[in-house]
Chain A
Amino acid sequence: DAGVTQSPTHLIKTRGQQVTLRCSPKSGHDTVSWYQQALGQGPQFIFQYYEEEERQRGNFPDRFSGHQFPNYSSELNVNALLLGDSALYLCASSRSRTEAFFGQGTRLTVV
């Protein structure tokens, strides 16, 4: 079992650009959640996908959007990047409300 995998591991983008991050869940998991972790802080919930629909959303602007595919993998898209979007982006997978497992994260730097 490969666990939760994310790509890419590192990314550098310019302000105003758009970025897409990808996540493959752990085998047997149907729910994918995305979190943003700023330096020195705990992860903050962005949104959650289940059955290809956004089921719950945290306090993030509409510039943050996502998608879940029939194989349960997911993408996180961020438009009009700001310097403040620089962070570690973490993907977690689970079966419903049970134990969540995290990927290794994508470190995004906006310059």
Chain B
Amino acid sequence: GIQVEQSPPDLILQEGANSTLRCNFSDSVNNLQWFHQNPWGQLINLFYIPSGTKQNGRLSATTVATERYSLLYISSSQTTDSGVYFCAVMDTGRRALTFGSGTRLQVQP
């Protein structure tokens, strides 16, 4: 099945810093989503981005489907950005999401 790799696995930032999270995938996809998992386990939808670029406030994402990667940018980070960020993809032969192992972000005041 499709492989999804996220990097870095862990990231510690000072409040106000910017960061880039990366997601590489091994096959063609027709769906790619970024999620933020809060401390209570809820997966919060950030972006539905099978291709192209989207922005939502301090967050933006870019997916280059032909090169099989996606990037999540967080600018001016806040302590509330802390948590685990997951990339999940749906390859063309399946109907389920395959998740990466996540990037654990800690933003310190």
* B96→A33 contact, CB < 8 A: yes
Near B by CB (< 8 A), chain A positions 18-60 give: 31, 33, 35, 37, 41-45, 48, 55-56, 58
CB contacts between A and B, total, < 8 Å: 60
B interface residues, tally (CB under 8 Å): 22
Q: What is the size category of the interface that chain A forms with chain B?
A: 20 to 34
Contact surface of B with A, Cβ cutoff 8 Å? 30-31, 33, 35, 40-43, 45, 48, 86, 88, 90, 94-102
Q: A97-B95, A99-B45 provided; 16 other pairs, C-beta below 8 A?
A: A33-B96, A33-B97, A41-B101, A42-B88, A42-B100, A43-B43, A43-B99, A56-B94, A58-B96, A88-B41, A97-B90, A98-B31, A100-B88, A102-B45, A104-B40, A107-B41
